[in-house]
Amino acid sequence: MDHRLVSTILALLLSLSQAHPLVDLGSEGAYYDKKRIENAMKTFNTETCIRFVPRSSQRDFISIENRDGCFSYLGRTGGKQVVSLSRYGCVYNSIIQHELNHALGFYHEHTRSDRDQYVRINWENVTPGTIGNFQTEDTNNLNTRYDYTSIMHYGR
């Protein structure tokens, strides 16, 4: 199945259970390449049914901040939800979209329940403390093909 179509289907399913994500670039936005972040969000708006909208006074929202590294919680946590995009190495289209996908509830592609049929993890090469990034999750893969090129897949 076409990757774009899969993304659209997954996004559609997400939108059924989640309100449109609200975004607050915060006061640090001035230090960012805000345009890059907005462009990455626009792709969601044009390629999926997810719509990122600027926050006004909503209680639950994503706050994109310049913290130490690129990271996000998985799925909606409620209240202010930080997505960290350090301006030192995270403000790239693929990374922005990767972290936003985590906030939307997507796991890494290489942790889906059927991944052992497609990739082999060289555990001896996994940095201690990052093992969680390689453990499989109890995912329903919705009959989608394993996607080696997914933005949510680590490099080989």
Beta carbons within 8 Å of 155's beta carbon, 6+ residues apart: none
Closest CA to 145 of 114, 107, 102, 100: 114
102 is in an annotated binding site: yes
The CA distance from 35 to 76, in Å, is 24
Residue 137 bears catalytic tag: no
Annotated active-site residue in 28, 65, 99, 124: 99
8 A C-beta contact, residue 84 and residue 72 = yes
153 is in an annotated binding site: no
Which are the catalytic amino acids? 99
Residue positions forming the annotated binding site for Zn(2+): 98, 102, 108
